[in-house]
Structure 1
Amino acid sequence: MSEAEDFARLMRELKDRGGLSYGVLARRLHTSTSTLHRYCNGEALPAEFAVVDRFARACGASAAEAVDLHRAWLLADARRRAGATAPDPVPVPVPVPAPDQAAAAVEAEPERTVVVGPAGMVGRAAGTGPTGAESGARPSWYRRRAAGVAAAGLTAGAVALALLAVTGPDRGTPHAGAGPGAGIGTRGSGGSASAAATPSAPGAAPGAMPTDPATGTAQPSASSGGSATASAPASAPPPVPGRAPAAPLKAAVRSHVWAAGCDHAYLAERGPGSVPPPPVQADAPAWATAQRAVHAGSQIVEVTLHGTGGGAVVLEGLEVRVGARRTPPAWNVYQMSQGCGGGLTPAVFAVNLDAPRPLARPVAGNDAGNRLPAPAFPMRVSADEPVVLRVEAVTTGCDCDWSLDLRWTSPAGSGTLRLDDGGRPLRTSAATGRPVYGYALEQGRWAR
């Protein structure tokens, strides 16, 4: 049974036990009946964990059942992304054996093992207007489309919590440049040198793989099409004197997360006549790379963490590192939607990149009037208990390169996990006072 079929089976079991019809569940999930039917039949997979989370709660799933459903979705989504981004195989010429070699023993093809890490999760519903650049008064194209888009925004508004920490039966389950990824590095508690992948220059080839200075091995980085995972060995080797222990964590970083799955803005140097229509969120990394676009005003980053060893790892804190501050470029702002929203404002770690020493500040959320507690360290993560961190960074005054350092402790030692954009720093730029364009569907072009 494939990962998608296993996920669909769990959904059907919960639906049958809950006794709710597809129509009732679809209304609670803010999606269509036909779409929900396709999810339960294995014909489609939710793009966001928010739908899965609301489905589990609507069906009365226990904490253990919600964990199983979450894990099944992560595996199915990772398999889908791997299939979507896998390059076509390059044909290799095979020499034809001579007749006198026909009776030679045939060497068996070695077994190939493909390791696929879980993908991250998306979205928050923005109920307070557009994020990113300060656009001032809504342009005429926005006002004409607002009523029609509001209904569509409800579908995207069912998004997962910014911080999902599944810690067992006693806890409930809550979900520019190159593509997202995770560069792993460790820093021992004794102050040893960082083994994080060295960030490459902004113009480096997207396919380049950063190297771990401690081991000399290449670390995986993301393609422009989706999330990437980077992990330490499943079983940590014995500690080497003078070297920090390997991080017993596997991280999947998504750096192109849109509010409510539809609301975001990018800065791009090209004029509106040369910029293609806005993509859907899943295609945002490739679109932004092609336009050399930068996150405008704000950026949401989501990190899914799994333990790789047999024991639990304690996450102790999150630190923000601003590597560079430049004057924001005088480029155009391109809004990805004509407005959307919903009733869910997830809890996040909010970061003000303009502060002299930016901090990841816990902020509570709200779900249809119900307060969502702010995320708090320490947290526990293991192979069976994933944790999702959501960070929302904003700036009104700089073009900033930044990254996150996640401090962890395990029985094998302690260290720091570097979270960035596939070995490169995350980049967010202020966009105040820049021309703002939205895509006018009736005219098929960008308009102010």
Structure 2
Amino acid sequence: MSEAEDFARLMRALKERGGLSYGVLARRLHTSTSTLHRYCSGDALPVEFAVVDRFARACGASAAEAVDLHRAWLLADARRRAGAARPQPVPRPAPEPEPAVTAEPPAAPEPEPVPAVAVEAEQEQEPAVAVEAAVVVGPAAVAGPQARPSRYRRRAAVVAAAGLAAGAVAVALLAVTGPDPGAPSAGPGPGGGAGTRGPSGSAPAGQTPPEAGAAPPESGTGSAMGSAPPPAPEGGSATASAPSSASPPVPNPGRAPAAPLKAAVRSHVWAAGCDHAYLTERGPGSVPPPPVEADAPAWASAQRAVHAGSQIVEVTLHGTGGGAVVLEGLEVRVGARRTPPAWNVYQMSQGCGGGLTPAAFAVNLDAPRPLARPVAGNDAGSRQPAPAFPMRVSAAEPVVLRVEAATTGCDCDWSLDLRWTSPSGSGTLRIDDGGRPLRTSAASGRPVYGYALEQGRWAR
């Protein structure tokens, strides 16, 4: 059974147990009935996990069933990506037919030699013929089936001699003057065109030397134009750029090992899939209706909105190597604290709820030193144990971390540091909002608006 069929089997089992029709589930998932039917029959696969998560909640899946469904979706999605990345065979061009060789006609008798002055005058009168003669001087003209008259051969000889003389003059000038000292070299500098360094290691004029202790640029992040290989050491061969078995490359002691983890971060997770609030300076007349959870990042970016009061961040982790990785702990870093802006609060729902409260790590951003504290969850009356470190994660066993941060007194920039250990080493994985810090602001005392569906507008 393939990964996609296994995922579809789990979806059908949850749907049959939940007793909901395709139409009811499609409305709850904000998708069409035909699309949902294709998911359950194995003809299609959801592009994002948000659809799978809402499906599991709507069908009342337990925590273990949700994890199994998530694992099956990850494996099926990885198989789909691998199939899309497989290179297609390149058709070979058909061999060109060889030109037919005809018998060469007898050469015309050589006329009397023409003086050089007459040749030069003839070239001035017919420049187009001289260009044509220069074109046919190459090997293609020699291998052609027909020979040129002697008049063309004499003009070709004159043009070829002029070209050789010009090349000899250029080589002589280059040998006398030497290379241009201001020309950039093809050394291993940034962008493949940095200037050369002097014997003392200083940067050439017009360039700023790197800061002390700065790490060298990684080889995998070069410019799109590429860079030339580094120059050979003095006295060495120009082909000694590849490391040999006798002299292995020396590792950089200041560079941490690459994390054998891949993290997918969702920073706009709503409680129960519908309950959330945003803070924005725009008035209710210029704010569009609330979106669904899947469209929340684009909606919040267009409104320049900030998470109001609390924020839920969900991190899906899976290993990228063959071995397992141990997650040691989670640390909270608050980069900045500002006074909360006096903006309006917009509720995404007038009230919703469900029987599932996932276990998570709770973070109080107002604390002097915030900590990620594990909190137990509730699934329709049954208690879910609180998450606890250490955790084990691999390519076949993903882990989902849920962090709920709250504040009542600051506009905070924050991020998470996940400590990990593997057989190849240990390190820290930064979790943020696509390279930028996460941002959550207090919203107490601000005007609160809800969207009235019957009136089609925001109202207090």
TM-score grouping bracket, smaller chain normalisation: 0.5 to 0.7
**Is the 8 Å Cα contact of residues 10 and 69 (structure 2) preserved in structure 1?**
no
Between the aligned partners of 1:77 and 1:338, the Cα distance in structure 2 is: 39
Q: 1:361 to 1:442 in 2, by over 3 A?
A: same
Between the aligned partners of 2:65 and 2:276, the Cα distance in structure 1 is: 34
Q: Name the structure 2 match of 1:356.
A: 368
Which residue of 320, 336, 358 corresponds with 2:348?
A: 336
CA offset digits 1:118-137 (Å, max 9, x no partner)? xxxxxxxxxxxxxxxxxxxx
Between the aligned partners of 1:329 and 1:445, the Cα distance in structure 2 is: 24
**Is the 8 Å Cα contact of residues 54 and 273 (structure 2) preserved in structure 1?**
no
Matched, 1:71 2:43: no
Q: 1:218 to 1:259 in 2, by over 3 A?
A: farther
Q: Name the structure 2 match of 1:31.
A: 25
Q: 1:291 to 1:12 in 2, by over 3 A?
A: closer
**Is the 8 Å Cα contact of residues 9 and 40 (structure 2) preserved in structure 1?**
no
Q: Which amino acid aligns with 2:351?
A: G
Aligned-partner SS, 1:71: helix
Q: CA RMSD in A?
A: 3.9
The count of aligned residue pairs is: 296
Q: Name the structure 2 match of 1:202.
A: none
Matched, 1:376 2:351: no
**Is the 8 Å Cα contact of residues 71 and 397 (structure 2) preserved in structure 1?**
no
Q: Which amino acid aligns with 1:323?
A: G
Aligned-partner SS, 2:50: coil
Aligned-partner SS, 1:431: coil
User: TM-score, normalising length from structure 1?
Assistant: 0.58
Percent identical pairs in the alignment equals 73
**Is the 8 Å Cα contact of residues 279 and 345 (structure 2) preserved in structure 1?**
yes
CA offset digits 1:296-324 (Å, max 9, x no partner)? 00000011111112211110000000000
Between the aligned partners of 1:433 and 1:344, the Cα distance in structure 2 is: 30
**Is the 8 Å Cα contact of residues 405 and 416 (structure 1) preserved in structure 2?**
yes
CA offset digits 1:235-277 (Å, max 9, x no partner)? xx99532321111111111101111111110000010001111
Q: Name the structure 2 match of 1:215.
A: 218
Matched, 1:258 2:258: no
Between the aligned partners of 2:250 and 2:56, the Cα distance in structure 1 is: 39
Q: Which amino acid aligns with 1:342?
A: G
Which residue of 286, 293, 302 corresponds with 1:281?
A: 293
Structure 1 position 66, deviation (Å): 5.2
Between the aligned partners of 1:65 and 1:438, the Cα distance in structure 2 is: 36
Q: Name the structure 1 match of 2:415.
A: 403
**Is the 8 Å Cα contact of residues 332 and 436 (structure 1) preserved in structure 2?**
yes
**Is the 8 Å Cα contact of residues 349 and 361 (structure 1) preserved in structure 2?**
yes
Q: Which amino acid aligns with 1:386?
A: P
Q: Which amino acid aligns with 1:364?
A: A
Aligned-partner SS, 1:26: coil
Q: Which amino acid aligns with 1:276?
A: P
Q: 1:257 to 1:310 in 2, by over 3 A?
A: same
Which residue of 338, 346, 351 corresponds with 1:326?
A: 338
Structure 1 position 77, deviation (Å): 10
CA offset digits 1:312-347 (Å, max 9, x no partner)? 111000000000000000000001111111101110
Q: Name the structure 1 match of 2:6.
A: 10
- Where in structure 1 are there 5+ consecutive unaligned residues? 83-99, 101-211, 220-236
Q: 1:253 to 1:77 in 2, by over 3 A?
A: farther
Between the aligned partners of 1:62 and 1:392, the Cα distance in structure 2 is: 22
Structure 1 position 12, deviation (Å): 4.5
Between the aligned partners of 2:373 and 2:427, the Cα distance in structure 1 is: 21
**Is the 8 Å Cα contact of residues 309 and 441 (structure 2) preserved in structure 1?**
yes
Between the aligned partners of 2:70 and 2:385, the Cα distance in structure 1 is: 20
Query: Which one is further off, 65-74 or 275-284?
Result: 65-74
Between the aligned partners of 2:301 and 2:81, the Cα distance in structure 1 is: 21
